[in-house]
Amino acid sequence: MKRSPFFVLSALAVCALALPPSPASAQLSSLPQLGAPAPATIFASEKHLKQCETGPGHKDPCAEIELTGTKIKFIVAWDAQTKAITYLFTNDPRVVTDTQLSYGGTCRVVSDSGQPDPATPYMKWVIDPKWKGPDTLLTGKAVWYAAIHKDSFDPTYGDIVGLVQSRYIQLK
């Protein structure tokens, strides 16, 4: 049986309307700070509780949020009992620290003498204490650390895979 193009397009439109919408991220006008109470809008946007790895051996409830008017997304996690923010992460290249760190950048992870920096393993990345900085224009004075993936071909460099704040980072 041959269907007209109008019938096919109409059927596709009906199917598109019948599909459930993809979950939206919470909209916040400003990013919460580590240790601050998690905003109630985060809980309202998350119908299904997600768990994110937030540190070595730590998983916390989490949600993706978007800063109002920017379309910049962050992962925010909080302590299940206290509801205090424990973890913030972004891999949006528009977030640039005052020290010019951002997703996609490259860092030298050795000293001038060639000795490895005192980097701290953190989940599947390393945190080098010299690669940090605030983003005062967008996120206030809190310090963001570059989440670095060491280059397997040249171990003197690492690629920035995101910017992170976490109460679980224990620097050497």
pLDDT digits (tens, 9 = 90+) for 83-110: 999 999 999 999 999 999 999 999 999 9
| pLDDT tops 80 at residue 150 | yes
pLDDT of residue 18: 35
Dihedral sign from CA coordinates of 120, 131, 104, 45: positive
Q: For tokens 């809980």, what's the residue?
A: 43
Give the span between the Cα atoms of 119 and 141, in whole angstroms.
Answer: 23
The helix or strand, by DSSP H or E, that contains position 44, with its residue range, turns out to be helix 40-45
pTM for this one? 0.80
Are 167 and 34 within 8 A, CB to CB?
yes
Cα angle value 161/61/158 (rounded, 5°): 15
Give the span between the Cα atoms of 165 and 172, in whole angstroms.
Answer: 16
pLDDT of residue 22: 36
The region that residue 46 occupies, defined by phi over 0 for left and psi between -120 and 50 for alpha, beta otherwise, is beta
> Which whole number is the average pLDDT over 127-146?
90
Coil vs helix vs strand at 8? helix
Are 74 and 88 within 8 A, CB to CB?
yes
| pLDDT tops 80 at residue 11 | no
